[in-house]
């Protein structure tokens, strides 16, 4: 067995871009229309997305739990062609202004085939 461990670090800029991409998904209902001004990591891996809506004086806050945040970030990885194995274990951690995704993958070792 081969074990692989990787860590993806999402800076504040990358988090904002990831949720801007997420907002463009057809029929998604998590984020209202507006300009994403900031994405704030929360303890446990969730985030709060701050959105400036047209005509509103206050920013709207939309909370994402860790599972939803992970989904949004993995969607961003797919769109940016960052390879993340589907069957790998993934942990999401808030670390100050960043979000970390730890990826733990296992690969079975095979023997060479006996093709002459």
pLDDT in tens, 64-75: 999 999 999 999
Q: Mean pLDDT across the stretch 27-53? A: 94
12-23 vs 66-79: helix crossing angle, rounded to 10: 90
- The pTM of the full predicted model, rounded to 2 decimals, is 0.87
If pLDDT is split at 50, 70 and 90, which confidence band does 116 have?
low
Q: Which of 33, 32, 31, 39 is nearest to 14 (CA)?
A: 39
Dihedral sign computed on CA atoms, order 6, 11, 16, 20:
negative
In this structure, the strands spanning 60-64 and 89-95 are unpaired
15-29, pLDDT tens digit by residue?
999 999 999 999 999
Q: Where are the beta strands (DSSP E) in the chain?
A: 2-10, 35-41, 47-52, 60-64, 89-95, 98-107
> pLDDT at residue 80 above 80?
yes
């Amino acid at each position: 067995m081969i074990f692989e461990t990787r860590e993806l670090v999402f800076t504040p800029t990358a988090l904002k871009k990831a949720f801007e991409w997420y907002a463009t998904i057809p029929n998604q209902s998590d984020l209202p229309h507006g300009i994403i001004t900031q994405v704030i990591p929360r303890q446990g891996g969730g985030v709060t997305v701050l959105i400036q809506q047209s005509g509103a004086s206050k920013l709207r806050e939309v909370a994402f739990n860790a599972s939803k945040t992970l989904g949004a970030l993995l969607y961003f990885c797919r769109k940016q062609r960052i390879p993340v194995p589907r069957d790998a274990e993934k942990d999401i951690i808030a670390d100050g202004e960043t979000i970390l995704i730890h990826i733990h993958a296992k690969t079975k070792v095979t023997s060479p085939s006996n093709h002459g």
